[in-house]
Amino acid sequence: MSKNALPLAGLTVIEFTHMVMGPSMGLILADLGAEVLKIEPLEGDNTRRLGGSGAGYFPMYNRNKSSLALDMKSPAGLATALRLIDGADIVIENFRPGAMEALGLGYAALSARNPRLIHCSGKGFLSGPYERRTALDEVAQMMGGLAYMTGLPDKPMRAGASVIDVTGAMFGVIAILAALEQRHSTGRGQAVTTSLYETTAFLVGQHMAQYAVTGKPAPPMSQRQSAWGVYDIFESCHGEKVFVAVVSDTQWRMLCEAFGFIEFAADEALARNNERVRQRERILPVIRERFRLYSQADLMLKLERTGLPFAPVARPEQLFDDPHLNAGGLLPVTLPGGQQTKLPALPIEMDSQRLGLRREPPAVGQGGPEALLAAGLTQAEVQALLDQGVLRA
């Protein structure tokens, strides 16, 4: 899909972000075709230097963007940022509450200059008693009930990815797109906010509703009370694990026929899911024993031919070799050290096409001077910023 054919082509986004939530908003908008300019300190976003579990943040969430390394504490740097914002459609930020206002970059100040501006903030909390608190993905998971639902009863555990940061970013983009649509009729932009805590509450809302309906607290998923008789992890003959689900009475009949569970197929009591749930201790050991007769590959092949839901229990590094992802779901990316890798594309198709890579994750300042020229600054003005040490190319 050509750049001009992308749905958000022609929109300009100025990004003041770090870590995961804010950059994820910019990533989604950029992949959809918006021109996203990431404003960084002269030394670059601190996220670039993270190690451990944060080592993948920058390359994963900053493709298809340009970088403007700018000294925002200098009058010339701030004035340059304001000139860019004056011509922008969207500003996104995810710094602590009050940080943008302290720089003169809050919505009230910016909208007075650019009434069409849509200003999206990614925060820990929406309006309320907690709104001034600083939060992280894990803070939200802990206080929002997700860590409890993920771990053991006495050992809460965060989910194994930055699910709240990324989902909060998705809600932010939904709000931005809604504001863009509203701008078509009103001619004006608006401030929108997305948050970590409320995102977590939305995700665990099903468990809140479960309590409201049943009067019983939802147990952690590690102790879950499954709604289905067969919904578990099984082992193949070599100990490799496969998750298998049977979530309808039709699928139960398919399982019995495919794997020769003659006794189960003849038992009318097991024809209904709720009775299978009550008899899990009877049926699961038999299924486990039968599945152990197969290799993982043969078991999955049989399950796929039967049409039952199944999944190998994979590790993240194994996804690099997944044939389905390699059919279009992984984009070639160059890491900061020059190594080549592949990282996931947005999980959507538009007009039967995947959204691709137009720009590698930028080096510090890469594309910044070009973005300033495109915004109307003269070559002399850009050179003056470079000479003053306000801009890094």
Going by C-alpha positions, the residue among 308, 313, 311, 293 that lies closest to residue 258 is 308
- Alpha carbons 86 and 303: distance in angstroms, whole number: 57
- Structure confidence at residue 3 (pLDDT): 66
**Which two structure tokens, joined as six digits, stand for 279?**
């008899």
* Closest C-alpha to 219, from 148, 140, 138, 144: 148
Whole-model pTM: value is 0.94
CATH topology of domain 226-316: formyl-coa transferase, domain 3 (3.30.1540)
- One-character DSSP codes across 18-44: -TTHHHHHHHHHHHTT-EEEEEE-TT-
| pLDDT, position 337 | 87
Q: Domain-by-domain residue ranges, the chain?
A: 3-203+328-392, 226-316
Q: Options 3.30.460.10, 3.40.50.10540, 3.30.465.10, 3.90.1170.10; which CATH number does 3-203+328-392 get?
A: 3.40.50.10540
pLDDT at 1: 66
Cβ–Cβ under 8 Å, residues 252 and 258? no
CB 196, CB 164: distance < 8 Å: yes
Same fold, 3-203+328-392 and 226-316: no
The count of C-alpha atoms lying within 13 angstroms of the C-alpha of 260, restricted to the half-sphere facing its C-beta, is 5
Q: Measuring CA to CA, how many Å separate 216 from each of 143, 212, 243, 279?
A: 20, 8, 27, 21
* Mean pLDDT per 10-residue interval, the chain, length 393 residues: 85 98 98 98 97 96 98 97 98 96 96 98 98 96 98 95 98 98 98 98 97 96 85 97 97 98 97 96 97 98 98 97 97 94 98 96 97 97 97 95
pLDDT recorded at residue 307: 98
Q: Which residues make Cβ contacts (< 8 Å) with residue 245, sequence separation at least 6?
A: 228, 230, 231, 251, 308, 309, 310
**What does the block give as tokens for 10?**
């022609």
Distance CA 182, CA 191 (A): 12
- Amino acid letter, residue 161: A
Tokens 């909060």: give the residue.
168
Alpha-carbon dihedral 31, 36, 42, 47, rounded to 10 degrees: -30
